[in-house]
Structure 1
Amino acid sequence: MSQGVFDFGQSEGPLRPKKPERLILMVLLETPVSSQALEIATGIQTANRLQAKLRPLKHLHISLQHIRDDNRLREKYVFAAKCAANSVSADAFDVCFDRIVTFPGGRPDKRATVLLGGSTPLMDLQRKLGAALISNGLRGTLSFNPHITLFYSSRSVVPQQIDPLRFTVRTFSLVHSERGLTKYNILESC
């Protein structure tokens, strides 16, 4: 006869936040652009003698609208977000990211070092999506600080200009991000 085992709330696998399911609208970078961004990040790390894990190639993005975090993905919010996303259209447009900064705040051991930049059409797309989310009963924001997170570190880098990373935005996506698992599920591409 074997003795029973008690769980006591311990689980295998990565620690996930209380609300691990995130719904977000974003521009996912195409692979050649992501590769260029990671080359920039590696150069910044080397120049600043930083040890930090780079964001995964397939996860580099520009966040357009953070819709909500939940303990489980809820279909009514997914449906409303899809309706909002599909109500907005934009022609392809160019963006330019030409500055590196580390955002202040957050956890001291996990400060985001990012590329900053953008374009007027990117700002317009973000505002249109915010208005569409609001008209579909969801939270939307009309303000925006376009950035691409490269890595998290305990140390900041000196803000600086870089050779511009230029690319064309052709689509945006509604993504279910499984927080703590570094997993993106594309629910809709527009």
Structure 2
Amino acid sequence: MDMFASSGSGRLFLAIVPDPAAAERIYRLAGVLKRAHRFDGKLIPPDRLHVSLFSLTGLPDRQVCAACEAAEDFRAEPFEVSFDRTTSFRGGPGNRPFVLVGEAGLRRLQSFRQTLAATLMRGGLRRPANTNFTPHVTLLYDARRADEYPIEPVVWTVTEFVLVRSLRGHRHIARWGLRA
């Protein structure tokens, strides 16, 4: 069976992930914020924390392969991200994502994503990238919501991006290191 086979095999997406130390910091912070906001939702485990870049779910295998081949040739230097606020996004009833967000500390991520999108499109990815991109790390889902609130910035250096299969957990099925 092809590693990208899409029939009933979960979601497939490109993402950046925090390094293990940053993921632990985020997870601990999420626990503190969960208690502070009196949320009931289950915390996202450290190994599932990520920033989604592009969904590849539902694409034909040949397009996913083309995207992976384009990713092989992609060049970008490592860069820092900084999330300095929390908020709740709109979600389904009883299922609001509570997330880390930021602005100035995420500009490099936004330009990285635009450059990666152009590379993927040149490589044959047919689906245009969603231009309405709000970089965020989901901490938990809850029925209650929280207004935007400043936090001590959560910072890490992005050194790679990964292809994630989400089905009963997250599996990184490909990864590409950043280099100049």
Under TM normalisation by the shorter chain, which class is it? 0.7 to 0.9
Report the count of equivalent residues: 167
Structure-2 separation of matches of 1:49 and 1:30: 28
The answer for the alignment partner of 2:99 in structure 1 is: 114
Q: Which residue matches 1:27?
A: 16
Match of 1:88 among 74, 78, 90: 74
Is structure 2 residue 123 aligned with structure 1 residue 138? Answer: no
Question: What is the TM-score with the length of structure 1 in the denominator?
Answer: 0.80
TM norm structure 2: 0.84
* Structure 1 residues 47-126: aligned runs within 5 Å: 47-69=36-58, 75-104=61-90, 106-117=91-102, 118-126=105-113
Does structure 1 conserve the Cα–Cα contact (< 8 Å) formed by 2:56 and 2:64?
no
**Which of structure 1's runs of 4+ aligned residues deviate more than 4 A?**
none
Match of 2:4 in 1: none
Computing the radius of gyration over CA atoms, which structure comes out larger, 1 or 2? 1
Structure 1 unmatched runs, 5+: 1-17
Give the deviation of 1:143 after TM superposition: 3.8
Distance, in Å, in 2 between the alignment partners of 1:116 and 1:146 is 7
Judge conservation of contact 1:130–1:142 (CA < 8 Å) in 2. Answer: no
Q: State how far apart, in whole Å, the 2-side matches of 1:29 and 1:132 are.
A: 23
Give a deviation string over 1:17-42, Cα, whole Å, max 9, x none.
x9543221100111110111112111
> Which letter maps to 2:144?
R
* Aligned Cα root-mean-square deviation (Å): 1.9
Alignment deviations for residues 73-94 of structure 1 (CA, whole Å, 9 cap, x no partner): x531331120232232211111
For 1:94-134, what per-residue CA distance to the aligned partner results, in whole angstroms no more than 9, with x for missing partners?
11100000001x21121100000242221111111222222
Read off the aligned partner of 1:137 and give its amino acid letter.
L
Question: Does the aligned pair in 2 maintain the 1:28–1:60 contact within 8 Å?
Answer: yes
Determine if contact 1:93/1:169 at 8 Å carries over to the other structure.
Answer: yes
